[in-house]
Amino acid sequence: MKTHSEIKVTPKTWEKSIKSNLEKTWEIYYTFYDRNHPAGVKVRFKGMNRAKTLEERQEITRTMIANEIKNLERGYNPILNEYVVEDESLISDFTPFVKSCEIALKSFQGVDSTITDLLNSLKHIRKYAVMLKIDNKDLKSVTKGDIKQLLMRMSLDKHSNYRVNKTRSHLSKFFAHFTELDIFQVNFIEGISKLEHTSKKKNIIRTEDDWKRFHKIKDLNYSVYIFLNIFLYSGCRFEEMIQIKKEDVNIEKSFFWINLKKGGKHTRSMRPINMHVWQYWKRIFDIAQPHQYMFSFDQMPNDNPIKAHSLYDLSGKYLRKVGLDMTGYGLKHTFLNLVSKDFGLSKAAEIAGHTNTKTTEKYAVDWQEHQVERNKKIDISI
């Protein structure tokens, strides 16, 4: 349905160099139509008459007309004096930049931690977009330069290179979505260089003393100790562990199934039950009732799943209690690091379910040192 008539100005000759027009009262007007007013309602407004020169009054008028058209394209209803969007899930060329990101995020799928990470980046995007006055800029008008300036401003405010790169990565996800909607021909965020960043070496269990500290958890909370051992040898993420039900476990054949949720795709993947923790799996399995989640409240089976961050926080709490300065994911790093040392990076990638070893390198933190050690032992007779 047509929303408005042609926007006109009184006097009709406002664009011409007629000095006598400066003595007249100018007015912009058009007819607006909506479902409740199919015959239309006259809309009139001024604001240019304060100008002292003809040229200034003409320029103000042009700007006011352009802004009115832009607002109407975005869904502005001058009768209600508010924006009326027929479908909040739709993004157009004229949707404001930050609003477009908010709408896009609603359509993204992923585990809770991924969505939380995106929301965190969106806070930074919103803050610096407002600062640079591009938050309400038409999405189609946002440029590579705008985004580069946004990221540069983050750096100037002393955000770490890691945080700036993470925000860039999430902006790329948003603009990949906009590109699929044909708002952009290419995702130009990929053309913005990442900042130099060297990841801090992960704290993992390496020494005999570290292992002694880890085993002290057994005396503090046996259920937590059992779960941390199972998690250590699983190669999984907390998001995957919380979804495992009794039916996903084959205790006789020593394997279990997890639901992988990456890149918006959901797949089932088989994982081995390591022989060192088989007895712990058997203990939980025997307690669990049909269809119950294996690792829930108090690390015991339950009809309802626990939140992944609850297990993450609990793990870190007990590791710190015994003097290990590491998070629960430090256990996953520990396991994959040991696997890569004894069996190579490819085997560690296989156990973790990674499609390439590049990802595994982030977990097997000492793999380069292990590789050098193995290379020292190459025996070639000459």
Specify the CATH number of the domain 97-191: 1.10.150
Tokens of 287: 């307690």
Return residue ranges of the chain for CATH 1.10.150.
97-191
Which residue's structure tokens are 């109407």? 72
Closest to 261 in 3D by CA, of 248, 242, 281, 274: 242
Q: What's residue 91's pLDDT?
A: 86
CATH T-level fold of 208-376: hpI Integrase; Chain A (1.10.443)
Closest to 14 in 3D by CA, of 64, 67, 54, 69: 54
Q: What's residue 342's pLDDT?
A: 73
Q: Which residues are CB-contacts of 307 (< 8 A; sequence separation ≥ 6)?
A: 112, 242
Q: What's residue 300's pLDDT?
A: 95
DSSP β-bridge partners for residue 56: none
d(CA 19, CA 41): 32
Return residue ranges of the chain for CATH 1.10.443.10.
208-376
Residue 76, helix vs strand vs coil: strand
d(CA 60, CA 55): 9
Q: What's residue 359's pLDDT?
A: 61
Query: Backbone phi, then psi, for 240, in 5-degree steps?
Result: -85, -35
Q: What's residue 24's pLDDT?
A: 95
Q: What's residue 123's pLDDT?
A: 96
Q: pTM for the full model?
A: 0.56
Q: What is the mean pLDDT, run by run of 10 residues, along the chain of 382 residues?
A: 86 95 96 87 95 95 93 87 72 88 88 85 96 92 95 95 94 95 93 79 86 96 96 90 95 92 72 94 96 95 93 94 92 86 72 66 60 61 66
Closest to 41 in 3D by CA, of 49, 32, 50: 32
Q: What's residue 39's pLDDT?
A: 87
CB atoms within 10 A of CB 83: 12
